[in-house]
């Protein structure tokens, strides 16, 4: 799996070259150009998706290349058990940065975190991360259960 930022669209490319596209400007999500930006369960090209609406926000949970990927595009929600249970055993977390994002991250504890947005550098610094910007990131097959890794994608 490879993750890159292509003109405000975060692309997650599977090993079989299928794509999850997340437009960070409009919060639209698609799988190979099929818009999946509404609550439902779906499978396309070996990618499983569950999109759940909670407090008028849609959260995305994908299984891609045997990894669990979650997209959080809005952090203005209350962390309650009914939504926290949706974020089980997260391998890759794509999350917008604002003041509430650090609290959300701490409750999810993903193995790989990809922050985005105009304040992502603040997010990384707040969590003591000083990672250099990269144009893309190839996910390692084995991921640590003990340490969260952070990826700073170029805008």
Beta bridge partner(s), residue 31? 20, 34
pLDDT tens sequence across 27-54: 999 999 899 999 999 998 899 999 999 9
Please answer whether residues 137 and 150 qualify as being in contact, where contact means their C-beta atoms are separated by less than 8 angstroms. Answer: no
pLDDT at 140: 77
Q: Which residues of the chain have pLDDT under 50?
A: none
Domain map (residue ranges) of the chain:
2-139
Question: What is the reported pTM?
Answer: 0.92
pLDDT at 14: 96
The residues near 139 (Cβ < 8 Å, ≥ 6 apart) are 1, 2, 3, 65, 67, 92, 112
pLDDT at 109: 80
């Amino acid at each position: 799996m490879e993750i890159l930022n292509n003109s405000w669209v975060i692309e997650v490319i599977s090993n079989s070259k299928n794509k999850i596209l997340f437009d960070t400007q409009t919060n639209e999500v698609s799988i190979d150009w099929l818009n999946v930006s509404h609550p439902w369960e779906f499978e396309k090209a070996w990618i499983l998706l569950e999109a759940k609406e909670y407090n008028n926000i849609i959260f995305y949970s994908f299984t891609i290349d045997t990894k669990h990927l979650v997209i959080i595009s809005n952090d203005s929600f209350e962390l309650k058990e009914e939504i926290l249970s949706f974020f089980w055993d997260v391998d890759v977390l794509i999350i917008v940065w604002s003041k509430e994002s650090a609290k959300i991250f701490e409750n999810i504890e993903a193995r790989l975190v990809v922050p985005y947005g105009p304040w992502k550098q603040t997010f990384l610094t707040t969590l003591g991360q000083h990672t250099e910007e990269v144009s893309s990131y190839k996910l390692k097959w084995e991921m640590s259960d003990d340490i969260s890794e952070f990826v700073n994608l170029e805008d």
